[in-house]
Structure 1
């Protein structure tokens, strides 16, 4: 459905440079772009002006410091953060995620499970006893949710993910035989969480494993028992989070990072890719390396000697 540049600008609380009545029907990359499309651009490339004429987009969300005359024959919407404004506009005017409420007939659902009528359960999912799933939650194909786990509203879980498997906890008896520690907790996933494909999230032992509001977890991540992940965190693929780790709000765990069990990670933390975290990390710190160090200390260690 066509939408005008003026309507998009109004949604963003921004002005328009050029024709506010110009319509767009889709979103596209800035280069080469597509006719009748909405896109965004950056203002940080040396060849920016030479590439402008190659774009065929109709409406472009741009940085505020871009010269008003830079894009001829286009309508501009200047904003403080062009990428963020584009994301907001694309999700509002051109929603790209398909959502079909209902339960696929191949799914296996235990008796007494509570699934909101507005949820979507994909093919070959397995939902065990005592589970609850909120409104607008979407489980892709072959997701398994073990007993008593709770999934909130607007949660997305990718293909092949397992929620609530027993955690890895053993202790040797007098003869050296490894005995499993009881895992009687559950997994609680709060509203707005998104989880990728083939993720494993273990149930808690005597407490629950908890993933708080708005956190996003990439594919192939392991979250061990009793972990607590704060609000609006980003956890990138292949990360491994050991048992009973606590992560504060708005933290970032990089590609293939590993966090040792029982460590506390503050809020606003950035853990670099491949980092091996063996100590607690304070709020707003950046750590890198193996073993992970505060970035300032790591930079000093790696500095050349003269």
Structure 2
């Protein structure tokens, strides 16, 4: 569901209008059916536009959705209910239409540094150059560093400290959070929609939720969700120069060393530990309590409690056996050559 603190609705549009705009046809349902907002297929309601590319992958119950941009292959597997617009590139069509229904709230041109509608607790401390957008809420004891920008609607809990030159938008921040200088929270993720003229960026309409007692190291980036939320669990500590992609779910008490990167829609369980420069493929699940060694490239799910290492990552004992075998093989070859 679109959060009105961060976005405003600019529709409605009818099914026939949308079909004309994307060069497609209404293949099933009512051409005058209107939609006012956008949503993920998993939670779309009767006033929402969503898209489906692959029934097998996206195949949750979409019977409540008002209108679906859908590939012909996915359309064949859908039961009765929503109005359908068939297109070979539903993601690209969604990218083209969504910004006609929803727009991002931004800082107002000419506004004072602190917008009159912002709610700032008397005990909060703002350093020179801080900018606070409309409807933002700053809790008791909060400290905001010099030249940091807090976007419209952002909520910041008690005793949170935000360093200089940070940028936060589309974000809900808990109590006792520490955000170091240069951190960027809530910008659009790296979502691309392939099209005939080349890939286009997909607009993002989700949020970032950072729970209590989280720390985010300097110059790290946390992308907001595409249509859902990016979530950082309570007590998690993220080092400098890390990246969390859109729609990721990071559990509680996770420890993530520098240069780690978590690709979009991945899930990291409670108590997971990442060494430095760990990389995760998109849509990967890391089970609770797992440990990932430095430099590992994780291309598949990791069971809870296991320790993985290597490129591509695998259980650490198997990876160490492979290294030992390679070392012995190289030594034998060197001996024969000598």
Identify whether the pair has TM-score above 0.5, normalized to the shorter chain.
yes
1:136 alignment counterpart: 159
User: How much does 1:102 deviate?
Assistant: 1.0
**What SS does structure 1 have at the residue aligned with 2:186?**
strand
1:292 alignment counterpart: 313
2:189 to 160, 167, 185: 167
* 1:190-229 paired onto structure 2 within 5 Å: 190-229=211-250
In the alignment of these two chains, the number of paired residues is 205
**Alpha-carbon distance in structure 2 between the residues aligned to 1:172 and 1:241:** 22
Are 1:123 and 2:137 counterparts? no
Deviations, residues 178-213 of structure 1 (Å, cap 9, x unaligned): 122221001000000001100010000010100010
Structure 2: 5+ residue stretches without partners? 1-122, 330-338
Q: From the two aligned structures, give the one with the greater helix fraction.
A: 2
* 1:1-306 paired onto structure 2 within 5 Å: 101-146=124-169, 148-173=170-195, 175-304=196-325
Q: Which runs of 4+ in 1 moved over 4 A?
A: none
**What SS does structure 2 have at the residue aligned with 1:150?**
strand
**TM-score normalised by length of structure 1:** 0.65
**What SS does structure 2 have at the residue aligned with 1:219?**
coil
Q: Which has the higher contact order (CA 8 A, sep 6+)?
A: 2
User: How much does 1:124 deviate?
Assistant: 0.5
**Alpha-carbon distance in structure 1 between the residues aligned to 2:194 and 2:316:** 39
User: How much does 1:137 deviate?
Assistant: 0.3
1:96 alignment counterpart: none
Deviations, residues 238-291 of structure 1 (Å, cap 9, x unaligned): 011100110000001110010001100001011000000001000001000000
Structure 1: 5+ residue stretches without partners? 1-99
Deviations, residues 111-166 of structure 1 (Å, cap 9, x unaligned): 210001321111110000010000000001011001x3100000000000000010
Alignment RMSD (CA, Å): 1.3
**What SS does structure 1 have at the residue aligned with 2:303?**
coil
User: How much does 1:303 deviate?
Assistant: 2.6
**Alpha-carbon distance in structure 1 between the residues aligned to 2:131 and 2:124:** 16
**Alpha-carbon distance in structure 1 between the residues aligned to 2:219 and 2:286:** 24
**What SS does structure 1 have at the residue aligned with 2:176?**
coil
2:113 alignment counterpart: none
**Alpha-carbon distance in structure 2 between the residues aligned to 1:101 and 1:141:** 15
Instruction: State whether residues 102 and 117 of structure 1, in contact with CA within 8 Å, keep that contact through their aligned partners in structure 2.
Output: no
1:12 alignment counterpart: none
**Alpha-carbon distance in structure 2 between the residues aligned to 1:203 and 1:290:** 28
